Homo-oligomer: A and B are copies of this chain.
Amino acid sequence: MEFYCSKNNLVNAVNIVSKAVPSKTTMTILECILINVSNGKIILTSNDTELGIETEIKGEIKDNGIIAIEAKLFSEIVRKLPDNIVHIKSDNNYVLNISCEKNNFSIAGKDGSDFPYLEDVEKKDFITISQFTLKEVIRQTIFSISQSENNKIMTGELLDINGNILRLISLDGHRISIRKIELRQDYASLKVIIPGKTLNELSKILSGEIEKVVNIYFSKSNAVFEFDNTVVVTRLIEGDYFDVDKMVSNEYSTKINIDKKELISCIDRATLLVRENDRKPVIITINDEEFELEIKSPIGSMDESINIEKEGADLKIGFNPRFLLDALKVIDDDKINIFFMNSKAPCYIKDDKGKYNYMILPINFNTV
């Protein structure tokens, strides 16, 4: 195998495929990036058996071949090369030579034919979405997937397509996050559960440019994201997702409109009095036009009031401050609506247009 390419092209491609290299694995070949030069293409591949990434590098091919090379070392080396054309060459003993200007590296690789191939997905059903939008909705929902593997379904997100509406939904037993976007055309109805890890890594690779699109293909057990020179293949999580529409309510007895930044700063300050893993709630009292937030902990106490617009009844209710912060931080609006029923029912942070709906369960502040 032998080819030339620019350092920048090489670094970008290695950064992309590195996202699917597992940090811990019993199969050492998976800690490698596969370099495959054939059919006039230079392709890098990584695969952690649940998630696989393939990306093409533009360059000048001298000789076909295939080699697997330890991802971390290869990535460190290419990043530190001079900014110039890189010459990559391997021999029959799986030694990889990397040269750039007057610098030469030789490192040991592995037989590339041992590397597991990515799942082949028939490219039939697909949807098209802007890279920017996909990156945004992932960021705006990913925080409320479950971190525990006890319920596999909660570690993923529901991708729900209905006509020209796509919804991305996550929940973890304490809260539900729903984001809705309009697609440019209608598609057949579809519900799939995508692993949270895939969405996390995907959002790091997506360029975030509005003009650039990603095509998403679906098969029974896989999804494929195709964009730029890159293909991301992921297994889907099997099973039926929760019927979220039955879990959320539109009724309320109190509605407030509050400045988002003021509320974030206020909760941020309150969390200073909470040690990690301590389930101290912040207690919110809504009285006429005033919103008061209090916290009492062994460390000290804090109270602060914020002006609001209010409809409906007065209320006192407790929340985990982190759950409020997680939702508030991914909302772009400056002024937000929060809907309450009573001190035992969830609150909903949602906009008038139905683009987002964040449900958060309260904490009983009398017993903690």
Q: Which residues of A contact B (CB under 8 A)?
A: 73, 76-77, 80-82, 102-108, 265-266, 268-269, 272-273, 299-306
Contact = CB atoms under 8 A, between A and B. Distances in A.
A284 to B, nearest CB: 14
Contacts of A265: 80, 82
Given A77-B269, A106-B301, 4 more contacts: A103-B269, A105-B301, A105-B302, A107-B273
Given A77-B272, A80-B272, A272-B77, A102 B300 contact: no
A138 B126 CA distance: 61
Contacts of A302: 103-106
A316 to B, nearest CB: 18
A268 B107 contact: no
A275 to B, nearest CB: 11
24 contacts: A73-B272, A73-B299, A73-B300, A76-B272, A77-B269, A77-B272, A80-B268, A80-B269, A80-B272, A82-B265, A103-B266, A103-B269, A103-B303, A103-B304, A104-B303, A104-B304, A105-B273, A105-B301, A105-B302, A106-B300, A106-B302, A107-B273, A107-B300, A108-B300
Contact of A300 (B80, B105, B273): B105
Nearest to A301: B106
Contacts of A103: 266, 269, 302-304
Most chain B CB inside 10 Å of its own CB: which residue of A106, A265, A300, A301: A300
A304 B106 contact: no
A368 to B, nearest CB: 19
Copies per complex of this chain: 2
A268 B306 CA distance: 53
A300 B96 CA distance: 10
B305 A102 contact: yes
Contacts of A73: 272, 299-300
A304 B81 CA distance: 11
Nearest to A305: B102
B81 A269 contact: yes
Contacts of A299: 73, 107
7 interchain residue pairs of minimum CB distance = A107-B300, A103-B304, A80-B269, A102-B305, A106-B301, A105-B302, A76-B272
Contacts of A305: 102
Nearest to A293: B103
A272 B103 CA distance: 13
Nearest to A76: B272
Contacts of A273: 105, 107
